[in-house]
Structure 1
């Protein structure tokens, strides 16, 4: 038995197969299949530890898992399904040979999305593609869907692209300085939702923070780690740690990124060079909402007369346990009303690269979430993860409906600057 197997065995044995996870698991909710539930997948992990090879049927069940961690929240036995699925996916990538077409799609995804400069180079052609109406023609003909469902999913999910404001390396605090923080700009967030980063920096500055935005930062490794590409993810993690070692707090505005950055301490625990640095880094990582609530409000809140539906991103609510803080920030804005979405703990289907690699299941979950958003009657959807924003907006468009989408940072920004609701609907 390998050292990895020795780590997995007690984690597998922690599961008592009670079934509390079943109603929280998105794929079990969709299909009612035992092997597409957390306890079913843990049973398959146990079989693999006993010598069963990672054949296609077993791998398919692991691939269908979103890694949303709702089962971790629901489990009364404290089963570390997060560690189990990450380690199992790493084994899949080492031991299982995927078909050539699937390998090509995965290689495209991981050679593009974790690299902001490559995404930036794509912005120009993608903006032209959208502005000329070629995107609508491609959608009507279905040519991309026939060529590759994954490529079609990428095309559908791309948000409308405007100009990308360039952030300086330092944004000075307004008034007396209360803290100095580093800010992760991310990959998809940086290139597809640059307004979120700009709003985040402004809000932090208006609340009295000097905001440091290191030029040397890149991908945090979340997409790679959550997809079993551990060595690749660890390279990104080490670079991120080095980029932010000069600051006392690292603020993150994307749920998936914050989740993995808080996990660096576990991922690098066996690395004698990086273990202590990773531990220190994870301790000082904060989600934006988490940090602002800890800091306390100072800047005046102005009215934003709008009704919003707040969406719980899985890697914020389940992986980080952050549910109260975003709602508290929104509740502090005069004239803003928050409405809850039905089944908030069921994933929207984004889940990192899931909506690219499992587009049919992702679409079913997206449709469920879109229906829940519509039923709130809200004018604005607020989410704290770029993947969720794209996924739910796409699902709503598929239903012939539109809703404005904003990050918590953008709503706060509108309030602190006294801009009312206008900027949130542009």
Structure 2
């Protein structure tokens, strides 16, 4: 029950955690939606089971060490939330619990080193590019957990791109937005940002790229590094202008993290600003559907399957909009993937933290994509795209992997 958890002793995140725990009625509807339960078949590797474990820890009846293996195996995909008839806000529990756990016990040296290197490279594009190059050269002698993460890196990284601070709208301005350009995405597929800007400007949107923006903080938040997550959140609160119609993201994980800034900064002087900020954040597909596309788009016979990124579908409830954008392209055949709600296994650094589960989920998702008969698979998250690309290649598939904005840009490309 709510009153049994000593919320006053748990800091500002104690109350949201207690509310989430108390909302669970242990009905089990979440089990079928949970990827780790599908993989492992254990009660403690379900949202319901993890809630019980976290409750026991918060009430002082179990150690963090005892619960942590099962909590660590959670992808944070939030597929449990839309499946839950009681409306348990699982996101208000899992990341805050991980933040609390980080201050309560020490992990092994190897694990701490992996997490430190991830935290010091992935959120910083220049460092990340250097790390990817060095890692690729040393892949053969890397420990298995490091190799599994490096397998996601393309054989040849695309050349870096840069973006100007303002891109004017074309054909009359209809809106003005600010765009988060991300960190890992800048290294792994910078063309996603270029395509996003082109699609927006061609649809009458002025695009601002704030120079002082930084990482969304999602990697830090989802691994329990609250101090770092707060620093990134504050940086972006200061960087993004108020005089725009929306703050746009083109990576599901980034958008989800920015929607949780009020939780990241709960109990601080910035909480009210974070609450206001998060309501201005939108995925680019949702924004474009709200604004409405300008015609024409080029006719195509392309067969496209769409993969729901977990932090787009589950965390932001954006499912219909990317599909409607793709259907707006004349002649495009949109194909649905079996078990579309199941995570592909990417989930930030999950490939390094839980390589066996990540690999199994990635292979199954790639097989489901192949079964659609598509020529291209689209998604709205860089982690999903790199995971799909790796596993499709492993299975010998020639299916192309593209962001929704890249497909839209290509449909515009022969239109003057």
TM-score (norm 1): 0.91
| Residues 346 and 358 in structure 2, CA contact (< 8 A), matched pair in contact too | yes
State the partner residue of 1:223: 219
Tell me, yes or no, if structure 1 residue 38 matches structure 2 residue 47. Answer: yes
Q: Which stretch shows the higher mean deviation, 164-173 or 199-208?
A: 164-173
Q: Is the 8 A contact 1:164 1:195 kept in 2?
A: no
Alignment match of 2:68 (pick from 36, 48, 59):
59
**Is 2:132–2:153's contact at 8 Å kept on the other side of the alignment?**
no
Mapped contact 1:116–1:219 kept (Cα < 8 A)? no
Aligned-residue RMSD, C-alpha: 1.7
Q: Which residue pairs with 1:422 in the alignment?
A: none
Contact kept in structure 2, 1:303 and 1:418, CA below 8 Å? no
Q: 1:297: how far off?
A: 1.2
Which residue of the other structure, out of 380, 383, 390, is the alignment partner of 2:379? 383
The one of 231, 252, 255 aligned to 1:255: 252
For 1:44 and 1:223, the matched residues in 2 are separated by 23
Q: What is the Cα deviation at residue 123 of structure 1?
A: 6.2
| Alpha-carbon distance in 2 for matches of 1:20, 1:277 | 36
Counterpart among 185, 209, 214 of residue 210 in structure 2 = 214
Structure 1 residue 402, shift from structure 2 partner = 3.2
Q: Give per-residue Cα distances to partners, 1:357-386, cap 9 Å, x unaligned.
A: 111110010111011001001011101100
Match of 2:146 among 151, 159, 181: 151
**1:202 equivalent in structure 2:** 198
Give the alignment of 1:42-121 within 5 angstroms: 42-121=51-130
Partner of 2:330: 334
Which of the residues 287, 301, 313 maps onto 1:291? 287
CA distance in 2, matches of 1:293, 1:212: 20
Return the alpha-carbon distance in structure 1 between the equivalents of residues 285 and 18 of structure 2. Answer: 36
Which of the numbers 15, 22, 25 marks the counterpart of 2:24?
15
Check conservation: 1:54, 1:95, Cα contact below 8 A.
no
Instruction: Find the aligned partners of 2:15 and 2:214 in 1 and give their Cα distance.
Output: 33
Task: Tell me the residue number matched to 2:348.
Answer: 352
Contact 1:206 1:299 in 2 (8 A): no
Gap runs ≥5 in structure 2? 1-5
- Mapped to 1, the partners of 2:53 and 2:168 lie a distance apart of 53
Contact 2:307–2:337 (CA<8 Å) still a contact in 1? Answer: yes
Match of 2:278 among 275, 278, 282: 282
**Shift, 1:287, TM fit:** 0.1
State the distance in 2 between where 1:242 and 1:7 align.
26
Write the distance in 1 (CA, Å) between the matches of 2:130 and 2:114.
19
Q: Distance in 1 between matches of 2:119 and 2:372?
A: 36
Give the secondary-structure state (helix, strand or coil) at the position aligned to 1:382.
Answer: strand
Query: Is 1:220–1:236's contact at 8 Å kept on the other side of the alignment?
Result: yes
Which residue of 2 is the match for residue 392 of structure 1?
Answer: 388
Residue deviations 1:13-62, cap 9 Å, x none? 21110000000000001111000000000010111122134343410000
- Pair 1:174–1:23, CA change in 2 (3 A): same
Structure 1 residues 378, 367: closer, same or farther in 2, change over 3 A?
same
Give the equivalent residue in structure 2 for 1:266.
263
Gaps of 5+ in 1: 420-426
Q: In the superposition, relative to structure 1, how do residues 90 and 329 fare at CA in structure 2: closer, same or farther (>3 Å)? A: same
Distance (Å, rounded) in 2 between the aligned partners of 1:72 and 1:157: 28
Between the aligned partners of 2:167 and 2:51, the Cα distance in structure 1 is: 47
Report Cα offsets for 1:121-148 as digits up to 9, x if no partner.
446667xx6xxxx68xx5xxxx44xx42
- CA positional deviation for 1:275: 2.4
Question: Equivalent residue for 2:3?
Answer: none
> CA separation in 2, counterparts of 1:360 and 1:228?
22
Could you tell me how far apart the structure 1 residues matched to 2:49 and 2:309 are? 24
Change over 3 Å in CA distance of 1:58–1:122 after alignment to 2: closer
Is the CA contact 2:44–2:50 (under 8 Å) kept in the aligned structure 1? yes
- 1:66 deviation in Å? 0.2
Instruction: Tell me, yes or no, if the aligned pair for 2:178 and 2:241 is still in contact at 8 Å.
Output: no
Contact 2:158/2:189 (8 A) holds in 1: no
